[in-house]
Structure 1
């Protein structure tokens, strides 16, 4: 293990952020989490953990003194949530990122690891969607990720910047999400005995949650050698193929219906692999995890596991 670091994780109570934070603590790092906690806080107390419930738009609430590295995961996640409130989406995903990196530089933070999105490419026909291809974002969410990337790169001479473009994440987390393709198709098979596939031919890249966490650890360890932008996705498979994989483990009927979502894209992660990273988990592992957690009574089909349902409830409450 490398030396103990003082880390700031924004969005550290989220689907990826929760197990990421736990893994960083297990490695001996001191972690400060800043999270608005729209979806709760599933982090158990730890002597090296500080959790601050705050909105990252309030930059004064984000501590920077003594921080070595920022892992910036906080965002309004996915297209439906971004479309629900465009102003919120731009303020959280783009403007707050700019303020965060500027404050980081002012406080001498050495490294900024950013969770972007593989969806910034838009609809691509190329078999190898590499980091050199043009970005044609087709939603507000995609656009804020692209803008944030460019803002961060403009400061690359002042702070080490590692930008990760993840594929769709799958697997089980203490703060579960069931609005992600592998997870939702598996849960549908478990609870309904039917998997409804909209379209089905759309190809999507996938990454297991545990590999996603390992990517962030990888850049924490050697990111100063490998600055810039990196795709992170290792299984480019269609929605229909995912459904068929699910039915190998959970008996269910697959029903295909028309879809108005044209997005079909792949990710080529050769650049990441060239840095020495090797994936260890796969989509099938995630299917089996969701199945095991459900059968053990640890996972239920709840509204809180769907970002858009929670965001709509919060909007009504406000």
Structure 2
């Protein structure tokens, strides 16, 4: 299958694309490459330096499926320039979906976000609960979902609401909770927690990329799927890191109210089985850092890098 992957050079894309190639697919990898290009060369891989905002420039010739990962990722970066966030994370999705329909593409897998639920008190946050997004990033994801669902009669639409991803990637991110806390412990000798009571769902990098492969192989499963298998408070994550590295925890205040627990029974019922844990992510980050394979690079922090390079 010939697959267009947008945002292919990002945190998830850099792990997903090699998996697609190993399955025998042809991949067209579209990315602005703001944070670099860590994809391996491969005879079935075409890397295109491009921006999804310029959707009309994307060549859809021969494309059979789209895995749409591209967006201005996470709340702080989305707030840097709301106009660019809406153009990149929403308008581009709308136009790409319309072009896909006109081109006869029958598969569209979309990376939404578990954060579309906003602040929830329910113990079981399922896919049918009301969405109350509280940031530009969340709002663009919600609107994009609604747009894509309107194309269900024209193509197979599969929407993933991932939890916070953790674990290694060649295009690492050190600004997501598990990775951030682990790297802080490794470099500062302590774990600083802002708030700590906030509960966040988590999913390992290997599992979330396998979710996309699972959906690609199972077009009969359509609609929206939560993807997160460990609902853990930020403080409890810090405790796991602290115990692993024998470092103290420092707790300070936080203005971030986001707290939610996702239920992924729908994805499990479809037949997907997760294989990795937060503890695995912590372990592999520690090993990579201590062996010199992972460093605290500036371009592994989205917000700081985008501000420094004035990317939006």
Shared fold, TM over 0.5: yes
Q: Does 1:259 align with 2:259?
A: no
Aligned partners of 2:258, 2:38: CA distance in 1, in Å? Answer: 32
Matched residues in 2 for 1:296 and 1:60: separation? 44
Partner of 1:197: 193
Q: Paired residue for 1:29? A: 25
Q: Does 1:312 align with 2:271?
A: no
- The aligned residue for residue 284 of structure 1 is 279
Q: Deviations over 1:249-289 (max 9, x none)?
A: 11211000111111110100000000000110000000001
Q: Is 1:179 matched with 2:149?
A: no
SS in 1 for 2:244: coil
Whether 2:57 is the aligned partner of 1:61: answer: yes
CA distance in 2, matches of 1:30, 1:262: 42
Task: Flag structure 2 segments of 5+ consecutive residues without an equivalent.
Answer: none
Distance in 1 of aligned mates of 2:179 and 2:2: 33
The reply on whether 1:148 has 2:140 as its aligned counterpart is no
Aligned with 2:270: secondary structure? coil
Question: Which residue of structure 1 aligns with residue 236 of structure 2?
Answer: 241
Following TM superposition, by how much is the alpha carbon of 1:60 offset from its aligned partner in structure 2, in angstroms? 2.6
1:301 aligns with 2:296: yes
For 2:48 and 2:273, locate their aligned partners in 1 and report how far apart those are by CA, in whole Å: 33
Partner residue, 1:273: 268
Q: Does residue 45 of the first structure (1) align with residue 28 of the second (2)? A: no
CA shift, 1:59, in A, is 1.4
- Whole-Å separation in 1 of the counterparts to 2:12 and 2:252: 31
* Separation in 2, partners of 1:238, 1:302: 26
Counterparts in 2 of 1:77-226, with a 5 A limit?
A: 77-222=73-218, 224-226=219-221
1:10 to 6, 9, 16: 6
Structure 1 runs, 4 residues or longer, greater than 2 Å off: none
CA-CA distance at 1:314 after TM superposition: 2.1
Cα distance in structure 2, aligned partners of 1:36 and 1:140: 20
Structure 1 CA distance for aligned equivalents of residues 269 and 58 of structure 2: 34
Aligned mate of 1:70, from 61, 66, 69: 66
**Match among 215, 223, 226 for residue 228 of structure 1:** 223
Report the Cα distance in structure 2 between the residues aligned to 1:203 and 1:44, rounded to whole angstroms.
36
Structure 1: distance between partners of 2:236 and 2:138: 25
Q: What is the CA-CA distance between 1:295 and the residue it aligns to? A: 0.7
Three-state SS of the structure 2 residue aligned to 1:58 is: helix
- Secondary structure of the residue aligned to 2:37 is coil
After superposition, the C-alpha distances for 1:186-228 in whole angstroms (9 at most, x for unaligned) are 0000000111101101100000000001100000000x21110
Q: Deviations over 1:167-196 (max 9, x none)?
A: 000000000000000000000000001111
